[in-house]
Amino acid sequence: MSRCSQPIYTQPEADINSKALSLDHGKAKTSQRIKMSLTSILSAEAIDNAIKDCQDPDTFCYKKFFQLCGLSQKTPQEIKDVFRLLDDDNSGFIEESELKFFLQRFVPTARVLTEKETKSLMSAADDDSDGKIGVEEFQAMVLS
Ligand SMILES: [Ca+2]
Ligand SMILES: [Ca+2]
């Protein structure tokens, strides 16, 4: 009887990703996201080093970048936090349009990625070839 009267609870709450995202949508989406910063996860000095290393166009190498900025030594949860910062429109994915501004998420004055860099970064991460980077794909790329 209780089973019939509570159809809502038959929904599995297995999808942690979408659950976390809908939470974000629900409360203080913008202000909270702006306050949370990469420097609470990574050291400003390390970020600086990583940005300087690829300041010339077409010198960006994601493996080197993640190592220099210290992200590859972080926990999966911290990497997920960084992912959410990079997902500017809170869609749950990093799209190519967001990926272009990848470096500027770390340092606002950094350059945008060239089209070539953006595409090669996308293809390095995009395992299921849907044209965008999900959180698991991002974690796998950082830890690769
Ligand atoms: Ca997005
Ligand atoms: Ca994908």
84 CA distance to ligand 1 centroid (A)?
9
9 CA distance to ligand 2 centroid (A)?
30
Q: Which residue shows structure tokens 């949860």?
A: 77
* pLDDT tens readout for residues 50-109: 999 999 999 999 999 999 999 999 999 999 999 999 999 999 999 999 999 999 999 999
> What are the structural domain ranges in the chain?
13-143
- Rounded-to-integer distance, Cα 132 and Cα 126, Å: 6
The pTM score is 0.75
For residue 4, what are the CA distances in angstroms to 11, 13, 54, 131?
13, 19, 59, 41
Higher local confidence (pLDDT), 11 or 98: 98
* pLDDT tens readout for residues 25-62: 544 444 444 446 889 999 999 999 999 999 999 999 99
Summarize the annotated binding site for Ca(2+) as residue ranges: 87, 89, 91, 93, 98, 126, 128, 130, 132, 137
67 CA distance to ligand 2 centroid (A)?
22
CATH architecture of 13-143: Orthogonal Bundle (1.10)
Helix (H) or strand (E) holding 132: strand 132-133
Q: Which two tokens stand for residue 71?
A: 């992200």
